[in-house]
Amino acid sequence: MIKMVTKQFIYFFSRTLSSLIVIMTIAMIIIIISNTITYAKVDAPNYDFKFKMLYPFFPKKDFSEVKKMYEKNGLISLGVAVGTGTGTGANENVVIYKVYLKHQTFRFPIFFHEYQGKIVDFFVSLPSYFLHDPFLQDLQKEFGIQSKYSTLNGTSIYIWNESKADRDIKFVYGSTCTITCFPLYFAGTIKDEKSKPPGYTSLLDMMSF
């Protein structure tokens, strides 16, 4: 009788021990997986944004290049901003255009002025799903450290008056913060007043920033 009880106890104990080992193994696997997910690298939505897609719209660039790239792919004339000529093709007119740029599955607009076959300025309204830090790093890599910086009520303005890319162009970047910080806009305009069309108002000023 005692032998039988002993055998039953040993059998029960071994089964219980096996179950505990299985449970502990599963728990360890869950902990390892959880830690891996927690500490895995999370890329910002704009980590793969190609900054060079903005190059064709920089001031002093040939409008013909933009026209070639976007005429059949969404180039929209918004009319004459300033001018004495007739129609959007008149030589003395400052014409404002809009193009939608694409990143991943999203589209966002860039506006620019064209005058005598050259781009005068541009203003791009950046997607709110972008993150501020990666975009600012791209700008600083491209233009160097900003000349001026100011912040008010959570909105920050970065200005490059003499960027290493082109000292004749003023670049301005705006961002804001709520739960996270994200870009608002990026703009560029010719600095030399003599090179600007008569009566011209920059897109940055038109957008009231």
As beta bridge partners, residue 118 has 62, 115
Q: What is the pLDDT of residues 9-22, one digit of tens each?
A: 444 445 544 554 54
pTM over 0.95: no
Query: What's the CA gap between 25 and 46, in Å, rounded?
Result: 39
| Terminal alpha carbon distance of the chain | 93
Rounded to 5 degrees, φ, ψ at 177 are: -130, 135
User: What digits encode the pLDDT tens for the residues 133-166?
Assistant: 888 888 888 888 899 999 888 889 999 987 666 7
Contact 186, 124 (CB under 8 A): yes
Beta bridge partners of 100: 109
**pLDDT class of 63 with cuts at 50, 70, 90:** very high
Sorting pLDDT into bands at 50, 70 and 90, what band is 30? very low
Find, among 49, 208, 43, 68, the residue nearest to 141 by Cα: 49
CA distance 99 to 208: 20
Q: Which two tokens stand for residue 103?
A: 């990143």
Pairwise pLDDT comparison (83 vs 154), residue with the higher score: 154
CA angle 156, 159, 162 (to 5 degrees): 165
Tens of pLDDT, residue by residue over 102-142, are 877 778 899 999 998 999 999 998 887 888 888 888 888 88
pLDDT at 156: 92
Q: Average per-residue pLDDT in the chain? A: 75
Say if residue 41's pLDDT is above 50: no
